[in-house]
């Protein structure tokens, strides 16, 4: 713990330097603001690491067998989580998470009192260094605990090392995708039973309140895929119409939020079903794409994915979806499509867009679903004589496309085909060292 305190002191010293002579954040330069944000985030994570170890020891000193002599009961609390929640001014859920992480990363002792390494030593280092947040670590630990008995100690340790390395610097959403994908990879047999459980919990509730109809839908991802595709397609169509409007700021301009458009989509679809008089529902290329490897499909093992959904699905679910309408089954490794057209075509073909979606997973920068993106040439068709090939294309949403062009970002493709990696190189004013940032599906794909 002394080593962790030393690291925290160094971070606080760096924060003092970043703050410099500014009285408060309003007096900081942009560079100072970014450095202060980084140092504060690092300090918070280092503090959380220390707090987790302390929480684990408080839990140990409050164990049931101590009875009234337990630490929590001595301080007037029924449980460890209540004591820690009161001490940290947080919730019992947050306290339980601290204890769970602390017990996984704290040093241990055997029955003879000899020191043992932490249960998850790689995570211990990742948390202590500030590379991982408490929430990310808790998600990883929960998954490792679930698969530990099935896959064994060796594979669990390999998974821990892999996740600790790949999750460093990632957003919490990407960490969650990493965890979900790796669990499906480690325990593919566990997907189908969980699908049955999710299907048994499907529900739709409706009630009125304050003049509004509230609708709450819970359904498995494979059954909800057409709903998501249709609604997102409608929203994309509305944004395209807004962009092409003659007077986007006029009195009749469309100022709806995405949430409003999504609500309008459900109303429009239901009106169409009731009257069948609405023949102009704009879905902007809405498609459900299910992906699976040829080997997994033929053997009946492994799992598949749905574009835009995080949770993997079983092979049987893939087959059920492929038998339905409005679903494109994309079997990887079949080699049945020509994906590189050179300069014979200016616009990317449908097959190429499907391949880009496999590589990029949606917007390669911000992760919006494929249906809300467009394929863009890295080397422009007219100006640079750029070919319409996968290695010269990238999927970007409208916002990220403009941000990249307006702010001086660069995009590089490392490798070829759908296995290539997309890298975003920030301009000097964002990162003076211009360290490339990994984009696309590779951020959370297990085989990447």
32 CA to centre of own chain: 29
> What's the predicted TM-score (pTM) here?
0.69
Task: Return d(Cα 303, Cα 317) in angstroms, integer.
Answer: 9
How buried is 405 (Cβ within 10 angstroms: 0-12 exposed, 13-18 middle, 19+ buried)?
Answer: exposed
CA 78 vs CA 55, 92, 218, 407: distances in Å = 15, 12, 35, 55
Give the position of tokens 């391949």: 355
Task: Return d(Cα 131, Cα 198) in angstroms, integer.
Answer: 33
Give the position of tokens 């969650």: 176
Reading the chain (448 residues) residue by residue, the pLDDT tens digits are 566 677 777 777 777 776 767 778 888 888 888 888 888 888 888 888 888 989 999 998 998 898 889 999 999 888 899 999 999 898 999 999 999 999 998 887 777 777 888 899 999 889 888 888 889 999 999 999 999 999 999 999 999 999 999 998 888 888 998 999 899 888 888 777 778 888 888 999 988 888 888 999 999 888 888 888 888 888 888 887 877 776 767 777 888 899 999 999 988 888 777 665 544 555 555 567 787 777 777 777 788 888 777 778 888 888 777 665 556 666 766 554 444 445 445 567 777 788 888 889 889 998 888 877 888 888 775 555 667 778 888 999 888 888 887 788 899 999 887 788 999 999 988 888 999 999 998 888 776 4
Other C-beta atoms lying within 10 Å of the C-beta of residue 214 = 10
For the chain, the three-class secondary structure string (H helix, E strand, C coil) is: CHHHHHHHHHHHHHHHHHHCCCCCHHHCCHHHHHHHHHHHHHHHHHHHHHHHHHHHHHHHCCCHHHHHHCHHHHCCCCCHHHHHHHHHCCCHHHHHHHHHHHHHHCCEECCCCCEECCCCHHHHHHHHCCCCCHHHHHHHHHHHHHHHHHHHHHHHHHHHHHHHHHHCCCCHHHHHHHHHHHHHHHCHHHHHHHHHHHHHCCEEEEEEECCEEEEEEECCHHHHHHHHHHHHHHHHHHHHHHHCCCCCCCCCCCCCCHHHHHHHHHHHHHHHHHHCCCCCCCCCCCCEEEEEEHHHHHHCCCCEEECCCCCCECHHHHHHHHCCCCEEEEEECCCCCCCCCCCCCCCCCHHHHHHHHHHHCCCCCCCCCHHHCEEEECCCCCCCCCCCCHHHEEEECHHHHHHHHHHCCEEEEECCHHHCEEEEECCCCCCCCCCCEEECHHHCCCCC
299 CA to centre of own chain: 29
**Tens digit of pLDDT for each residue in 339-377?**
444 544 556 777 778 888 888 988 999 888 887 788 888
Which tokens go with 376? 């863009």
CB 440 within 8 A of CB 359: yes
Other C-beta atoms lying within 10 Å of the C-beta of residue 178 = 23
Contacts of 248 (CB under 8 A, 6+ apart): 242
Looking at the DSSP assignment, which residues form a beta bridge with residue 109? 115
CB 184 within 8 A of CB 193: no
Which tokens go with 202? 């499907």
Q: Where are the domains of the chain?
A: 2-192, 212-246+255-336, 350-443
């Amino acid at each position: 713990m002394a080593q962790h305190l030393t690291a925290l002191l160094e971070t606080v010293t760096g924060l003092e330097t970043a703050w410099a002579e500014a009285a408060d954040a309003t007096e900081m330069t942009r560079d100072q603001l970014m450095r202060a944000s980084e140092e504060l985030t690092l300090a918070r994570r280092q503090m959380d690491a220390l707090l987790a170890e302390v929480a684990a020891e408080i839990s140990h000193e409050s164990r049931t067998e101590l009875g009234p002599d337990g630490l929590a009961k001595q301080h007037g609390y029924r449980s460890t989580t209540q004591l820690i929640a009161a001490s940290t001014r947080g919730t019992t859920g947050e306290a339980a998470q601290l204890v769970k992480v602390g017990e996984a990363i704290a040093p241990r002792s055997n029955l003879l009192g000899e020191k043992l390494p932490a249960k998850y030593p790689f995570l211990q280092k990742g948390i202590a260094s500030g590379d991982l947040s408490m929430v990310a670590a808790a998600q990883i630990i929960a998954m490792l605990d679930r698969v530990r008995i099935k896959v064994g100690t060796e594979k669990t340790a390999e998974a821990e090392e892999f996740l600790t390395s790949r999750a460093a610097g990632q957003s919490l959403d990407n960490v969650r995708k990493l965890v979900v994908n790796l669990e499906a990879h480690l325990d593919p047999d566990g997907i189908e039973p969980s699908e049955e459980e999710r299907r048994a919990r499907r529900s739709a509730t409706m009630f009125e309140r304050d003049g509004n109809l509230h609708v709450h839908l819970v359904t498995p991802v494979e059954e909800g895929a057409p709903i998501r595709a249709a609604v997102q397609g409608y929203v994309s169509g509305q944004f395209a119409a807004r962009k092409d409007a003659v007077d986007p700021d006029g009195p009749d301009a469309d100022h709806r939020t995405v949430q409003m458009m999504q609500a309008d989509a459900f109303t429009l679809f239901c009106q169409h079903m009731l009257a069948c008089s609405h023949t102009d529902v704009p879905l902007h290329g809405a498609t459900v794409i299910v992906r699976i490897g040829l080997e997994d499909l033929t053997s009946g093992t492994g799992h598949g994915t749905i574009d835009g959904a995080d949770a993997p699905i079983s092979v049987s679910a893939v087959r059920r979806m492929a038998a339905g309408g409005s679903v494109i089954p994309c079997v990887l490794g079949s080699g049945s499509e020509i994906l590189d057209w050179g300069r014979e075509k200016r616009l990317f073909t449908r097959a190429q867009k499907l391949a880009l979606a496999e590589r990029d997973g949606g917007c390669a920068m911000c992760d919006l679903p494929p249906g809300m993106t467009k394929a863009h040439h890295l080397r422009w068709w007219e100006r640079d004589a750029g070919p319409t090939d996968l290695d010269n294309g990238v999927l970007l949403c409208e916002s990220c496309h403009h941000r990249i062009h307006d702010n001086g970002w660069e995009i590089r493709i490392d490798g070829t085909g759908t296995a290539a990696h997309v890298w975003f190189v920030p301009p000097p004013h964002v990162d003076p060292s211009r360290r490339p940032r990994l984009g696309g599906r590779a951020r959370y794909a297990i085989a990447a």
